[in-house]
């Protein structure tokens, strides 16, 4: 194996040990977080407002991005929001007053873009997480939260040394927890107040 480049231009070990790989992942995530924190915060504030004001929140993503958003869905439910995962048998129709939270690295994933258009057509608001704010998905979204990471088709190793869209998908999970934490702190509720919503049929 050859040495891998880090986002800041340095080099790491070849990643052949778990410790090396953990270091690389942590370094890439740290660089991603620093970039997001230095960016315009208006879209992130808009995201918090959209989630707070939503009648219901629907989450939708393909593959690993979708799995990461399920984690966000659970946390928003713990906060007391009415949350549905698109594709589940009990998920109702989306409508006016609702928010569709979607993730697509490229912003061009066919099923995700179509779902966003459908949601917008019936009066719901769309909140997108992507690597770009210049895409068909961003054109439909009321706010796009940009995570500057590699998409799954980028195999150049320039944006990330990790495989496919791993850095983006990790970023989606991290951003979801950050959105939840900010909403929780603003709610003024204690952890004890949230705890009764945890699943008891496990």
Catalytic positions are 169
**Do residues 12 and 27 touch, judged by C-beta distance below 8 A?**
yes
**62 CB contacts (<8 Å, ≥6 apart)?**
104, 109, 111, 112
SS3 for 42-101, per residue? HHHHHHHHHHHHCCCEEEEECHHHHHHHHHHHHHHHHCCCCEEECCCCCCCCCCCCCEEE
- Structural tokens at position 122: 């019936």
């Amino acid at each position: 194996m050859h040495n891998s480049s880090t986002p800041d231009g340095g080099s790491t070990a070849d990643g052949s040990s778990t410790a090396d790989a953990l270091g690389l992942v942590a370094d890439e995530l740290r660089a991603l977080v620093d970039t997001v924190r230095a960016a315009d915060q208006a879209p992130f504030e808009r995201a918090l407002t959209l989630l707070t004001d939503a009648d219901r929140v629907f989450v939708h993503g393909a593959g690993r991005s979708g799995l990461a958003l399920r984690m966000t869905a659970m946390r928003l439910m713990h906060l007391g929001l009415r949350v549905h995962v698109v594709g589940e048998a009990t998920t109702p129709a989306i409508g006016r007053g609702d928010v569709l939270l979607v993730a697509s690295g490229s912003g061009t994933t066919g099923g995700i873009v179509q779902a966003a258009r459908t949601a917008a057509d019936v009066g719901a608001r769309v909140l997108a997480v992507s690597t770009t704010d210049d895409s068909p998905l961003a054109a439909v979204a009321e706010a796009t939260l940009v995570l500057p990471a590699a998409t799954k088709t980028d195999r150049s190793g320039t944006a990330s040394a990790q495989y496919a869209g791993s850095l983006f998908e990790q970023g989606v999970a991290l951003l979801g927890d950050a959105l939840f934490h900010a909403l929780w702190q603003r709610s003024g509720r204690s952890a004890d107040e949230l705890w009764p919503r945890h699943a008891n049929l496990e």
